[in-house]
């Protein structure tokens, strides 16, 4: 599968690209970013790929099967729609967007064009998560309450992506914890009670 990258920041360079090139079925053929220094850096790592400063031009000129999107979240929905309109499958970092109606339209567009959109809640596929799901399935008749204590190795920024500290914390890290539960028991959740403590700077959320 031919892969096109949208956004060449540190997360793409250090986390996403190693996973992509580790899959023998994937070949990165192009990359797009508005920062030329990032494009130079990514070409030095990947070699013979085509570079673009315009997502539209990359989608028009390249034979791409999947785009991988990792940019400021406010651009996720726009770039996802551009790819779907061009008949390209999408892997987009979380959050896909902040507008439910907009996300619903993207889902409808993907279904209409027989395309897939996957977002970055990939931790549900780890071995530990699978083991937890198997145990819950075996004991689901006995379970009344699930408590998940999640600890992350980095502090929570005060205003990630320009959001409030609470929303930023939820969408940056705790979305993974919520997705764990969704993968275990489905989407029939009525209430989620969330308590966040930031030990790095004791920001009051």
- Domains annotated on the chain, with CATH: 2-120 (3.40.50.720), 123-185 (no CATH)
Residue 156 pLDDT: 59
pLDDT at 106 over 60: yes
Helices (H), the chain: 10-11, 17-21, 36-46, 55-61, 76-85, 100-112, 127-139, 165-169, 175-185
User: Two tokens at 123?
Assistant: 């931790």
pLDDT at 203 over 50: no
CA 139 to chain centre: 31
**Summary mean pLDDT of the chain:** 84
pLDDT at 70 over 80: yes
Instruction: Give the list of residues 6+ apart from residue 145 with CB closer than 8 angstroms, or none.
Output: none
User: Two tokens at 48?
Assistant: 């013979």
What mean pLDDT comes out for the span 98-124?
90
- Nearest in space to 179 (alpha carbons), one of 118, 111, 114: 118
- Beta-bridge partner residues of 28: 3
pLDDT at 59 over 80: yes
**β-strand pairing of 2-6 with 27-32:** parallel
pLDDT at 20 over 50: yes
pTM given for the model: 0.78
């Amino acid at each position: 599968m031919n892969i096109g990258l949208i956004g060449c920041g540190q997360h793409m360079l250090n986390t996403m690209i190693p996973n992509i090139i580790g899959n023998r079925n994937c070949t990165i053929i192009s990359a797009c970013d508005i920062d030329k220094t990032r494009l130079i850096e990514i070409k030095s790592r990947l070699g013979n790929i085509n570079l673009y400063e315009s997502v539209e031009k990359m989608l028009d000129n390249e034979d791409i099967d999947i785009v991988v999107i990792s940019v400021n979240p406010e651009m996720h929905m726009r770039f996802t729609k551009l790819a779907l309109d061009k008949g390209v499958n999408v892997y987009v970092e979380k959050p896909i967007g902040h507008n439910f109606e907009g996300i619903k339209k993207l889902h409808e567009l993907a279904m209409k064009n027989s395309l897939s959109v996957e977002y970055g809640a990939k931790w549900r596929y780890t071995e530990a998560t699978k083991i937890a799901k198997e145990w819950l399935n075996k004991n689901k008749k006995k379970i009344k309450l699930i408590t998940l204590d999640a600890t992350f190795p980095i502090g929570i920024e005060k205003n990630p992506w320009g959001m409030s500290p609470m929303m930023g914390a939820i969408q940056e890290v705790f979305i993974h914890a919520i997705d764990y539960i969704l993968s275990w028991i489905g989407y029939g959740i009525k209430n989620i009670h969330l308590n966040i403590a930031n030990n790095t700077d004791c920001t009051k959320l």
